[in-house]
Amino acid sequence: MMLTKEQYNILDAIASGRVEPGTSLSHFVDYCDNAIGGDPQPLIDAGYIDAGHYVNGLTEKGKKAVAERHESQQKKLIFRCLKKRGKRSLCCFRSGSNVLIKLK
């Protein structure tokens, strides 16, 4: 399943704690519809979100999707930085884990 930007935003809402475990499914659906602009049901059906009557959190599949997206975004950031500054300059930024990365 190829995830859309909105679907990744739904997964991020759970991963970041904006949607806490124990949130009722109806409130979660309303939140996704109003705040994110997406429907979480396909993610639940595909096994990315553990939910019954309540949201329990991300499944391993959901956690993996969030981690892969984060890694992909970091690589894009590195590429953009190198492209802007040229190959001989130094590129520094903070990653999501607050580690300073320097590339020559």
Q: What is the DSSP string of 18-84?
A: SS-TT-BHHHHHHHIIIII---SHHHHHTTSEEESSBEEEE-HHHHHHHHHHHHHHHHHHHHHHHHH
Task: Specify the pLDDT at position 97.
Answer: 46
Predicted confidence (pLDDT) at residue 53 exceeds the cutoff of 60: yes
Task: Specify the pLDDT at position 76.
Answer: 64
Q: 5, exposed or middle or buried, with CB in 10 Å at 0-12, 13-18, 19+?
A: exposed
**Number of domains composing the chain:** 1
Q: Domain with 32 in it: what CATH number?
A: 1.10.10.10
- pTM metric for this prediction: 0.72
On whether the CB atoms of residues 62 and 43 are closer than 8 A, the answer is yes
Spacing of C-alpha 62 from chain mean position: 9
Percent of the chain with pLDDT over 90: 63
Between 39 and 104, name the one with better pLDDT: 39
| Mean pLDDT of the chain, nearest integer | 82
Give the domain range for residue 7: 1-104
